[in-house]
Amino acid sequence: MKKTAIARKVFEVMDSVPLAALVGGAVVVPIIDLAGLALVPWFCDASVQWALRLTRPGSTLHKSLLKKVNDSFITATEAGAVLVGVPGDGIEPNTSTLFPLAEAVAKVAEPGMVLELATANLGVVKRDWEVKAETNTPHGNQRYLGPVDAQCRWVITQTAPALTVAALTSALSCGCMVAGNGPWQVTDTSEAYAVVMQWLRSPEANVNPMAVKRFIALKDGAFMNSDPGMTRKLCGLGLGFFRHRLAGSPFRWPEPDSSRHAIQQLAEVARAVVG
């Protein structure tokens, strides 16, 4: 599969999945929050590929609408939509592309446009070469759709899976923690411990659990990172928040592999982090 085909392939999968109206109204966010929302599917399945679709009812959009962001692939359809594909490597989310892409979309979005984010596990991931995805679940197959309002905000009205406003707002806040590099605020030490345990138990975190206590500590109700070089690993911390706070929601994700590390070891690290 060519990288230029990613967006088309993702929407081929997700256009067949029924959208549901958000229960409780709409979620209205700055378009830049697309960066945080793009991480939510990865919290559920590390092997997703990303796609955006921009349309303007009654008008034709052209490929030149968006300035190309490194490792993104822009195409235009005969129907007048602009598609953007972003490859995933099955290890860490492609934040070096997703975050500046959100900024690029925010710069060109106009009232009346319709913005869609879709993700899907296509069975392969893109590294230096194409390899089979290590996960094979529909958990990351997600879609978010809504118009751009008069204030150039994204009004998310429909989703797959079906969600409440509260669930989407909570999920989005976890992704935005990563996109904004914090604040990593917790409600109490009990939540802090639970979040760290979710992080350490997940293979998606792609970090040695024993190393976490060297650069992460809880201070004044928030996690603090003492090593800027490890910031790129904090997508796993966002995953920990997400899986703790969204437990029991319509979102699904694989059970952690209990054979990777002894629970006693992980609990010791979590206690050291929380203090």
- Reported as a single tens digit per residue, the pLDDT across 216-235 is 999 999 999 999 999 989 99
pLDDT in tens, 34-60: 999 999 999 999 999 999 999 999 999
Instruction: Decide: residue 124, CB within 10 A, 0-12 exposed, 13-18 middle, 19+ buried.
Output: middle
Model pLDDT, residue 129: 64
pLDDT for position 258: 66
Return the beta strands (E) in 56-122 as ranges. Answer: 73-76, 82-86, 114-120
Model confidence band, residue 247 (pLDDT cutoffs 50, 70, 90):
very high
pLDDT bucket at 244, cuts 50 / 70 / 90 = very high
pLDDT band, residue 264 (cuts 50/70/90): very high
Over 90: is that where the pLDDT of 206 sits?
no
Question: 6 and 83 in contact (C-beta within 8 Å)?
Answer: no
| Cα dihedral: 161, 166, 167, 169 (round 10) | 100
Instruction: Specify the pLDDT at position 23.
Output: 98
Q: Which two tokens stand for residue 192?
A: 């802090």
In the predicted model, what is the mean pLDDT of the chain?
95
What does the pLDDT look like over 136-189, one tens digit per residue? 899 999 999 999 999 999 999 999 999 999 999 999 999 999 999 999 999 999
Q: Give yes or no for residue 70 having a pLDDT over 80.
A: yes
Look at residue 20 and give its three-state secondary structure.
strand
- Highest mean pLDDT out of 101-115, 199-213, 245-259: 101-115
The alpha carbon of residue 86 and the mean position of all alpha carbons in its chain are separated, in whole angstroms, by 12
Average pLDDT, integer, range 248-266: 87
Q: Which two tokens stand for residue 260?
A: 């990777």
Is the pLDDT at 126 greater than 80, yes or no? no
Give the confidence band of 207 by pLDDT, cuts at 50, 70, 90: confident
Compute the distance between CA of residue 2 and CA of residue 75 in angstroms, rounded to an integer: 13
| Distance between CA atoms of residues 16 and 14, nearest Å | 5
CA distance 5 to 213: 41
Winning range, highest mean pLDDT, from 88-92, 167-171, 261-265: 167-171
Mean pLDDT in residue range 23-32: 98
Q: Answer whether residue 128 shows pLDDT above 70.
A: no
pLDDT band at 2 (very low <50, low <70, confident <90, very high): confident
Please name every residue paired with 148 in a beta bridge, in sequence order, or none if there are none.
Answer: 154
Please give the pLDDT value at position 256.
83
- pTM score, two decimals? 0.96
- pLDDT for the residue 117: 98
Indicate whether 259 pLDDT > 70. no
Coil, strand, or helix at residue 63?
Answer: helix
